[in-house]
Amino acid sequence: MLPPPSSEVTALRGRLWTNSGAHLAGAIIARLSRAGAILVAARLLGPEGFGIVATGLAGYEMLRVLGELGLDTRLIRRVAQQQGTAAAETRHTIALKASLAAALAVVALLITTLTLGRSAALVLAGLSLGLFGIAAAGSVQALATGRLEATRLLPYQAVAGAVFFAGVAGATALFWRPAITAVAIGACDLVGGWIVSLYTRIPRHGRREMTGAPWPWRGALRESWPVGAVNVLATAYGRLGIAVIAVAWGSAAVAQYGVSYRVVEVFLLAAGAVAASAFAVTARLDAQDPSAARELLDHILGRVALVTLAAAAAVAAGATLLPTVLGARYAGAVPTTEVLAFALPPMFVNGLLTAHLYGRGRFATVLRIAAGNLCLNGVLVVLLIPRYGPPGAALAVVATEVANTVWQSRAAGLSAGSWTWRIAGLSLVAGLVIFLLGHHAT
């Protein structure tokens, strides 16, 4: 029988859940407003016009991940373990990410112009305005997460989310053009990053942050690149299905799948909130009491396991409302959403497992698993999408996330009887059954 946790560990657990709640509240306000704006744009532009924006957003997301390069994950660990240099680390991290974003945007626009034409490059150029705002917002979020004070960041996230919804929905309603919508998304992300960065000006109990020697940016990149590689591989696997759908089924099918993914993505906010806070706490425990990190993982899993399955069932049941909300043209998104809903439970668990492994410093382990995810998903999308379309892409995501859960559970030392393995098995069975029933019905 395990000994009771120390008072310090108990206090950290309490801060974890408080911070997770504030993190979730901010994410719901900010991200839900983002999803709402994107769905408004989807309804106004229709599948054809929104398909252009959705394709651009896939490239935009990849640029964001490449520009981040794991630096924010590194920042969380640094802030959690070395509070004195937090503000200086954040400023330098934002500057480095902005430089990377500028260089990547130039290269991406050149490639897009040569391969897809000027109109596609114009859409990506409009979106790329937001890379600098996202760079700032991501690092400020990492600062607040590492400090376990997401409650202070909450008002700024709310204002940034409101600005995004009003700007994107308003611009789309006024002009009804994909390029204008893309510019609005980029501009609102830029402004939102500035709003969120105002959090860093809050005085922290009159203490001054230590600055120290010049910031070693090369060392920061060497430290963060494995995490950046994981993020790139994970994003590539997540967007691989979109690329195959675009080639095999066209932009209208991309729009149908894009709507499904955005709906499901909203329900991952809770997972992200808990995982981010768990990472910060695990990083502290790894430096103070490594044995308590595994206890923390068990503590969290015991409280969220069944909730994830209930959320998946709710999303699958509510998928039939999509044509009512977005219009009859999006009826094709219903079967895709019903299948994709059962990627939610393993996605939720995988966020926690990744946070645990990162907090223990096992970046190389996560990188190897991410490479396996990409290879598995590549095989599945090639086999499923040409014949089954967007529902096939959804099933590929479910299967890949289940495999990810199994691999990470083994890396974390969880037995086959643990909740993570059960969630993986139930999700795979449910997703496969719904996929087969939907295919049989058509």
Q: CA-to-CA distance for 210 and 334, rounded, in angstroms?
A: 53
Total count of domains within the chain: 1
- Digit-by-digit pLDDT tens for the chain (442 residues) are 444 455 566 777 777 778 888 878 887 787 778 888 888 888 888 877 888 888 888 788 878 878 888 888 888 888 877 777 778 888 888 989 989 889 999 999 898 888 888 888 888 888 999 999 999 998 998 898 888 888 888 889 889 999 999 999 999 999 888 889 999 999 999 999 999 999 887 555 444 554 555 677 777 777 777 887 887 788 777 778 888 898 888 878 888 888 888 788 777 777 777 887 888 888 777 766 666 777 777 777 777 777 888 888 888 888 888 888 878 888 888 999 999 999 999 998 898 899 888 887 788 899 999 999 999 999 999 999 999 999 999 999 999 999 999 999 999 888 887 888 888 999 999 999 999 987 666 5
Q: CA-to-CA distance for 83 and 93, rounded, in angstroms?
A: 15
Classify residue 2: in a domain, yes or no.
no
Rg (CA), the chain: 21
The domain in which residue 74 lies consists of: 8-441
- Look at residue 5 in the predicted model and tell me its pLDDT: 56
Classify residue 3: in a domain, yes or no.
no
Classify residue 204: in a domain, yes or no.
yes
Classify residue 315: in a domain, yes or no.
yes
Contacts of 19 (CB under 8 A, 6+ apart): 145, 148, 149, 150, 151, 277, 280
- Look at residue 187 in the predicted model and tell me its pLDDT: 94
pTM of the predicted protein model: 0.72
Q: What does the block give as tokens for 15? A: 């801060």
Classify residue 1: in a domain, yes or no.
no
- Look at residue 432 in the predicted model and tell me its pLDDT: 93
Beta-carbon neighbour count of residue 35 at 10 Å? 16
